[in-house]
Amino acid sequence: MTAFTVNGKKVELEVDPSTPLLWVVRENLGLTGTKFGCGMAQCGACTVHINGEAVRSCVAPVSRAEGKSVTTIEGLSPDLSNPLQRAWIEEDVPQCGYCQSGQLMSAAVLLRDKPNPSDDDIDAAMTGNICRCGTYPRIRRAIHRAAEMAAKAGAR
Amino acid sequence: MNSRNPAIARRDFLKVSVAASGGLLIGFHFPGIGKLSAQQAATSSFMPNAFVRIGTDERVTVIVNHSEMGQGVYTSLPMLLAEELDADWTKVGYESAPVDPKYNHPAFGMQMTGGSSSVWSGLEQFRQAGAAARAMLIAAAAQQWNVDASSCRTESGAVLTGSDRKLSYGHLAAAAAKLTPPAKVQLKDPKTFKLIGKPIKRLDTPDKLNGRVEFGIDVKLPGMLTAVIARPPIFAAKMKTVDDARARSMPGVRKIVAIPAGIAVVADTFWQAKTARDALRVEWDEGSMRDFDTSKMMQDFRERAKTPGTSVRKDGDAEAAFAGAAKKLEAVYEVPYLSHLMMEPLNCTVDLKADSCEVWTGSQFQTIDRANAAKAAGLPPEKVQLHTTFLGGGFGRRANPASDFTVEAVHVAKAAGAPVKVIWTREDDMAGGWYRPAFLHAIAGGVDASGNAVSWRSRLVGQSIMAGTPFAAMMMKGKAYDPASVEGVDDLPYSIPNVTVESHQAEIAVPVQWWRSVGHSHTAFAVECFVDELAALAGKDPYQFRRALLQKQPRHLGVLDLAAQKAGWDKPLPPGMGRGIAVHFAFASYSAHVAEVSVKDNQVRVHRMVCAIDCGQYVNPNIIQAQAEGGAIFGASAALFQELTFANGRLQQTNFHTFPVMRINECPEIETHIVENNEKSGGIGEPGVPCAAPAIANAIFAATGKRIRKLPIRITEAV
Q: How far is A21 from chain B (nearest CA, A)?
A: 10
For residue B63, the SS3 value is: strand
Q: Is B215 on the interface with A (CB under 8 A)?
A: yes
Burial of B174 (0-12, 13-18, 19+ CB in 10 A): middle
- Residues of chain A found within 8 Å of residue B391, distances taken between Cβ atoms: 96
Q: How far is B476 from chain A (nearest CA, A)?
A: 31
Which one-letter amino acid corresponds to residue B235?
F
Q: What's the number of CA atoms in the CB half-sphere (13 Å) around residue B32?
A: 25
B386 lies in a domain?
yes
* Residue range(s) in chain A whose domain bears CATH number 3.10.20.30: 2-75
Q: Hey, which residues 78-97 in chain A have their CB within 8 Å of chain B?
A: 78, 80, 85, 88-89, 92-97
Residue pLDDT, tens place only, A39-62: 999 999 999 999 999 999 999 999
Residue pLDDT, tens place only, B497-524: 999 999 999 999 999 999 999 999 999 9
Torsion sign across C-alpha atoms B660, B663, B667, B671: positive
Using CA coordinates, name the residue in chain B closest to A58.
Answer: B271
Indicate which CATH number applies to the domain containing B99: 3.30.365.10
Q: Is A121 on the interface with B (CB under 8 A)?
A: no
Task: Report pTM.
Answer: 0.94
Q: Is B220 on the interface with A (CB under 8 A)?
A: yes
B252 and B135 fall within a common domain: no
Report, as ranges of residue numbers, the positions in chain B whose pLDDT lies below 50: 1-43
Single residue among B389, B423, B457 that ends a domain in this structure: B423
Residue pLDDT, tens place only, A48-98: 999 999 999 999 999 999 999 999 999 999 899 999 999 999 999 999 999
Using CA coordinates, name the residue in chain A closest to B657.
Answer: A42
B520 and B397 fall within a common domain: no
B554 Cβ contact list (under 8 Å, min separation 6):
none
Q: Do A19 and B271 make contact, defined as CB atoms within 8 angstroms? A: yes
Number of domains in chain B: 3
pLDDT of residue A63: 97
Q: Do B392 and A104 make contact, defined as CB atoms within 8 angstroms? A: no
A50 Cβ contact list (under 8 Å, min separation 6):
A21, A60, A64, A65, A68, A69, A70
Helix extents (H) in B539-581? 542-549, 554-567
Using CA coordinates, name the residue in chain B closest to A85.
Answer: B209
B585 and B534 fall within a common domain: yes
Residue B191 phi/psi, 5° resolution? Answer: -65, -20
Closest residue by Cα to residue B590 from B556, B624, B622: B556
Q: How far is A44 from chain B (nearest CA, A)?
A: 10
Task: Read off the pLDDT band of A156 (50, 70, 90).
Answer: low
Q: How far is B169 from chain A (nearest CA, A)?
A: 28
Among candidates A27, A95, A137 on the partner chain, residue whose Cβ is nearest the Cβ of B269: A27
Q: Do A32 and B218 make contact, defined as CB atoms within 8 angstroms? A: yes
* Residue range(s) in chain A whose domain bears CATH number 1.10.150.120: 83-155
B498 and B622 fall within a common domain: yes
Q: Do B656 and A39 make contact, defined as CB atoms within 8 angstroms? A: no
Instruction: Return the DSSP state at A133.
Output: T
Average pLDDT, chain A: 97
B190 and B262 fall within a common domain: no
Single residue among B378, B400, B423 that ends a domain in this structure: B423
Tally DSSP H helices, then E strands, for chain B.
19, 27
- Residues of chain A found within 8 Å of residue B341, distances taken between Cβ atoms: 132
B280 and B299 fall within a common domain: no
Q: How far is A75 from chain B (nearest CA, A)?
A: 8
pLDDT of residue B11: 36
| Contact yes or no for B149/B101 (Cβ under 8 A) | no
Q: Do B664 and A39 make contact, defined as CB atoms within 8 angstroms? A: no
B500 and B604 fall within a common domain: yes
B467 lies in a domain?
yes
- Residues of chain B found within 8 Å of residue A59, distances taken between Cβ atoms: none
Closest residue by Cα to residue B535 from B314, B327, B322: B327
| Contact yes or no for A3/A65 (Cβ under 8 A) | no
| Contact yes or no for A68/A51 (Cβ under 8 A) | yes
Q: Is A63 on the interface with B (CB under 8 A)?
A: no
B251 and B282 fall within a common domain: yes
Q: Is A144 on the interface with B (CB under 8 A)?
A: no
B428 lies in a domain?
no
Q: Is B218 on the interface with A (CB under 8 A)?
A: yes
pLDDT of residue B480: 84
B656 lies in a domain?
yes
Using CA coordinates, name the residue in chain A closest to B670.
Answer: A137
Single residue among B153, B169, B200 that ends a domain in this structure: B200
Among candidates B207, B626, B656 on the partner chain, residue whose Cβ is nearest the Cβ of A130: B656
B575 Cβ contact list (under 8 Å, min separation 6):
none
B255 and B107 fall within a common domain: no
Q: Hey, which residues 319-358 in chain B have their CB within 8 Å of chain A?
A: 341-345
pLDDT of residue B51: 97
pLDDT of residue B577: 97
B532 and B462 fall within a common domain: yes
Tally DSSP H helices, then E strands, for chain A.
6, 5
B651 lies in a domain?
yes
B562 and B507 fall within a common domain: yes
CATH superfamily of A2-75: Beta-grasp domain (3.10.20.30)
The CATH architecture of the domain made up of A83-155 is Orthogonal Bundle (1.10)
Beta pairing, strands B281-285 & B262-267: unpaired
**Of A96, A100, A122, A136, which to mutate for an interface test with B (greatest number of B Cβ within 10 Å)?**
A96
Closest residue by Cα to residue B436 from B72, B719, B712: B712
pLDDT of residue B1: 31
State how far the Cα of B503 lies from the Cα of B628, in Å rounded to an integer: 30
Mark B49-86 as b/e (b = at least 16 C-beta within 10 Å): bbbbbbbbebbbbbbbbbbbbbbbbbbbbbbbbbbbbb
For residue B271, the SS3 value is: helix
Q: Do B662 and A136 make contact, defined as CB atoms within 8 angstroms? A: yes
Q: Give the residue numbers spanning the domain of B366.
A: 216-287+346-423
| Contact yes or no for B558/B675 (Cβ under 8 A) | yes
B129 and B185 fall within a common domain: yes
pLDDT of residue B473: 76
Q: Do B217 and A33 make contact, defined as CB atoms within 8 angstroms? A: no
Question: What was the ipTM of the complex prediction?
Answer: 0.98
Helix extents (H) in B168-293? 169-176, 245-248, 270-278
B314 lies in a domain?
yes
B507 lies in a domain?
yes
B178 lies in a domain?
yes
Q: Is B428 on the interface with A (CB under 8 A)?
A: no
Q: How far is A155 from chain B (nearest CA, A)?
A: 26
Residue pLDDT, tens place only, B149-183: 999 999 999 999 999 999 999 999 999 999 999 99
Q: How far is A74 from chain B (nearest CA, A)?
A: 5
| Contact yes or no for A116/A147 (Cβ under 8 A) | yes
State how far the Cα of A8 lies from the Cα of A64, in Å rounded to an integer: 17
